[in-house]
Structure 1
Amino acid sequence: MAPPGEAITSTYTSRNNFPKPLKLSNDSLHRTVSDITFQLSKEVLDNYKETAAVAVDEKQLPPISEVEDAKCECCGMSEECTPEYIERVRNKFLGKWICGLCAEAVKEEMEKNGGKIEEALSAHMNTCARFNKFGRAYPALLTAEAMREILRKSSRSEGKSLRAKSFNPRDRSPGAQKNGGIARSSSCIPAITREINDLTLSN
């Protein structure tokens, strides 16, 4: 049997026998370098194409303009509009911003007034103010007042009085033709007018 020191060294030397790494030939080394270079250049080219496409897209897209809430000075409705649009509307309507519905109403009022924008705008603003103050709270009275205005305008245009003649079947003259109709005892317009005037005075 061998002395203990020799046995250890012999075991140590047998375990230390690692295979030596293979030497790469110059040819395979050049091939590896060229493959890596190709991959890197391909990635750089792809990145360049992506950034060029994004830059072209950014040039083609129009800039997104900010929107703001604009409140109509007639009816009080709010809309989201660009500052450029708000400026155009204000230039068109004497510095006041009005919504599209009110703009159409002002145009119709201009046609009635002979094209005077100041009068048309003030008439529409007065109508909206009266509606907001009075019509929203009492819609039935507003409808009655509108009917009264229609009757008043139609009577002015036709040159007739506001009240219609009452029809009473007993008051027929002997030779008059027999008319079918509903007899009317009195008009409701004075009562409505009284209520509206009382409401206006109390406000």
Structure 2
Amino acid sequence: MTQTNPLRFSVNGYPQSLDVPPNLALLDALRDGGGLTGTKECCAVGECGACTVKVNGRTVNSCLMLAVEADGAEITTIEGLAVDGQLNPVQQAFLDYGAIQCGFCIPGMVMSAQAVIDNNPCPGLEEIREGLSGNLCRCAGYNRMFEAMLEVSRHNGDSGPREQERRRVRHDALRGAQDDAIAHGPAEVES
């Protein structure tokens, strides 16, 4: 007989109760026990950030946290960011700026991006880069993510220096595309 532990927590504002084995990761409890499949498993060793969720207001890699450690916690997953079916500003900006690429890393990336915005509603580029540094995008869509975050920052009230940062990010993205075209053959690249 497998030992289980009762687990009671709030997920996206709703109380949840599960019986979980002591060695079950929070990621698996959320996906398998809670049916919340937005949080992704990728590396399973805390290197990629695809499984990022908020636990009591702090971002964690849910693949590294045992579910039993979340007993009594307030947990927010990617499914909990939208309100009444409306994307929140970070989610909408990622969509508007084409920052979603294949989509696999995006739930964790958006959770980390939201944590940056929660900490500072008007972050600069360096703060955004630092805030997303624990998340990996295998499609290398970082510049679009940075642009999306700078747009949220601008919308939140900081329009001055952020416009220069946005232009720098766009220039870096264009330069990267041109370098890629030179290295790998012709491609359509806007000038």
Which gives a bigger RCO, structure 1 or 2 (Cα 8 Å, sep 6+)?
Answer: 2
**Larger CA Rg, structure 1 vs 2:** 1
Task: Give the TM-score of the pair, scaled to structure 1.
Answer: 0.28
Q: Which structure: greater strand fraction?
A: 2
